[in-house]
Amino acid sequence: MFLILIVVVFGILGFVVSNKLKSKFKKYSKIPLQANLSGKEIAELMLADNNIYDVKVNCVEGQLTDHYNPANKTVNLSPDVYYGRNAAATAVSAHECGHAVQHATAYSWLQLRSALVPVQNASGKILNIVLIASLLGGYALGLNYDLIGFIVVGAYSVMTLFTLVTLPVEFDASNRALAWVNQRNIVTKSEYGMSKDALKWAAMTYVVAALASLATLAYYIFIFFGNRD
């Protein structure tokens, strides 16, 4: 029942934050940027200002699908951001370029997160296999309770660590973005406030994910190891 409560509570919280984020971006997307720069132009300008010339700015399908890919050094912006000339597009494009700057300067938290990606992916697959096997009859498959517990807690610890490491990476990218748009006079005072507010709600999605992961990990630790003498 506690696991169901975690899923329900954080599911609702995630839904609320996601809707708030979408409403903020929708609101700020309707207000034209006085500098009249598109997200693509802002991204290219920020990259150039940081002496980064080997990163390509692409347009990708979807809504809020914006991301930086360190594997092929690309800043990928959704159409609304790529072509948008408003505070919301400014915030997102500069934030993704913040990740490119992190990559170029060997930001330690980004390096750690990148190193954890394959481990996190493997942990997720292992966790799914073990949970399915236990539901089908773990004892019949030769899995004892202690072994299941160590595997589940170990795998979920890695996944939780990944969500926690993601937090400083995302907050730092936003701080870099906001500092740059302000110093470069890309935005007015009111536009700066809108950009900051939009990025705050974007960051909240990662905070909710980290808290949900921590709560779930605590549940698994209690279930497998909390009732021992």
Report, as residue numbers or ranges, the catalytic residues.
96
* Cβ atoms of residues 83 and 68 within 8 Å: no
Q: Which of 78, 89, 76 is nearest to 32 (CA)?
A: 89
- DSSP letter at 58? E
CA angle (213, 219, 220) in 5-degree steps: 90
What are the C-alpha distances in Å from 163 to residues 160, 176, 208? Answer: 5, 20, 10
Give the phi and the psi of residue 28 in degrees, each rounded to 5. Answer: -75, -20
Dihedral over Cα of 114, 211, 75, 53: its sign: negative
Question: Look-up: residue for tokens 């693509």?
Answer: 40
CA angle (128, 131, 136) in 5-degree steps: 120
